[in-house]
């Protein structure tokens, strides 16, 4: 990710970053830009690769669902409360640190799986079992997933935890 983009996001408010990440989630899953489903079909002859790629997509979808149902609505309200637009409400999960820890452990397993997938892709490429266009498309998806995870781990989550400290003593 470009440093200027990173700096821009760092300066944004917690709810703006959350919305930006939601947009990135949609972009990844809506099958308009990356076409993960059609890529999966093309991997029919490479079962091992197809399986691990399919599992990553499934796990990431499930992970996104949890974030958008549990964590993100709270983050948006937290930012609004910090600007005195709405009153602060203590979450049922006590503190944002709890869902953040859960999400970070998801991130770790997703990152591990993408690491294994990358190795497999390089291997199959060198054996000419898949063509470079398909490999490139899968790699683009992997990079995008990693970018989203990085933005959450390094910018959004620490910023949200810090913001919450204003309210929880
Ligand atoms: Fe995430």
**CA–centroid distance, residue 153 to ligand 1 (Å):** 8
Contact 161, 14 (CB under 8 A): no
Pick from 38, 33, 29, 30: nearest CA to 63? 29
Pair of tokens at residue 74? 């709270």
**CA–centroid distance, residue 57 to ligand 1 (Å):** 13
CA distance 113 to 11: 31
Contact 71, 98 (CB under 8 A): no
Confidence at 80, pLDDT banded by 50, 70, 90: very high
Task: Tell me the per-residue pLDDT of 100-116, one tens digit each, with 9 for 90 and over.
Answer: 999 999 999 999 999 99
CA distance 124 to 144: 21
**CA–centroid distance, residue 4 to ligand 1 (Å):** 22
Helix (H) or strand (E) holding 115: helix 97-126
**CA–centroid distance, residue 35 to ligand 1 (Å):** 20
Pick from 152, 60, 145: nearest CA to 101? 152
CA atoms within 13 A on the CB side of 117: 28
pLDDT at 93 over 90: yes
What integer pLDDT is reported at residue 44 of this predicted model?
85
User: What is the DSSP secondary structure assignment for residue 60, as one 8-state letter?
Assistant: H
What integer pLDDT is reported at residue 136 of this predicted model?
93
pTM here is 0.92
Task: Tell me the per-residue pLDDT of 115-169, one tens digit each, with 9 for 90 and over.
Answer: 999 999 999 999 988 889 999 999 999 999 999 999 999 999 999 999 999 998 7
What integer pLDDT is reported at residue 143 of this predicted model?
95
What integer pLDDT is reported at residue 115 of this predicted model?
96
What integer pLDDT is reported at residue 86 of this predicted model?
97
**CA–centroid distance, residue 2 to ligand 1 (Å):** 20
What integer pLDDT is reported at residue 2 of this predicted model?
81
Task: Tell me the per-residue pLDDT of 35-70, one tens digit each, with 9 for 90 and over.
Answer: 888 888 888 888 999 999 999 999 999 999 999 999
Alpha-carbon separation of residue 126 from 12, 40, 49, 115, 131 (angstroms): 43, 20, 14, 17, 10
């Amino acid at each position: 990710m470009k440093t200027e983009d990173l700096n821009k996001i760092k300066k944004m408010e917690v709810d703006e970053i959350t919305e930006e990440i939601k947009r990135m989630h949609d972009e990844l899953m809506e099958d308009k830009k990356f076409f993960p489903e059609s890529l999966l079909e093309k991997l029919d002859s490479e079962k091992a690769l197809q399986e691990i790629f399919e599992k990553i997509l499934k796990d990431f979808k499930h992970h996104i669902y949890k974030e958008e149902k549990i964590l993100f609505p709270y983050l948006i309200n937290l930012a609004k409360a910090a600007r005195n637009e709405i009153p602060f409400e203590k979450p049922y999960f006590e503190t944002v640190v709890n869902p953040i820890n859960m999400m970070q452990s998801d991130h770790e397993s997703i990152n591990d799986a993408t690491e294994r997938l990358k190795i497999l892709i390089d291997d199959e490429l060198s054996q000419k079992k898949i063509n470079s266009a398909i490999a490139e498309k899968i790699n683009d998806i992997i990079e995008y997933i990693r970018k989203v995870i990085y933005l959450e781990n390094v910018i959004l989550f620490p910023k949200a935890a810090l913001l919450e400290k204003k309210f929880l003593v």
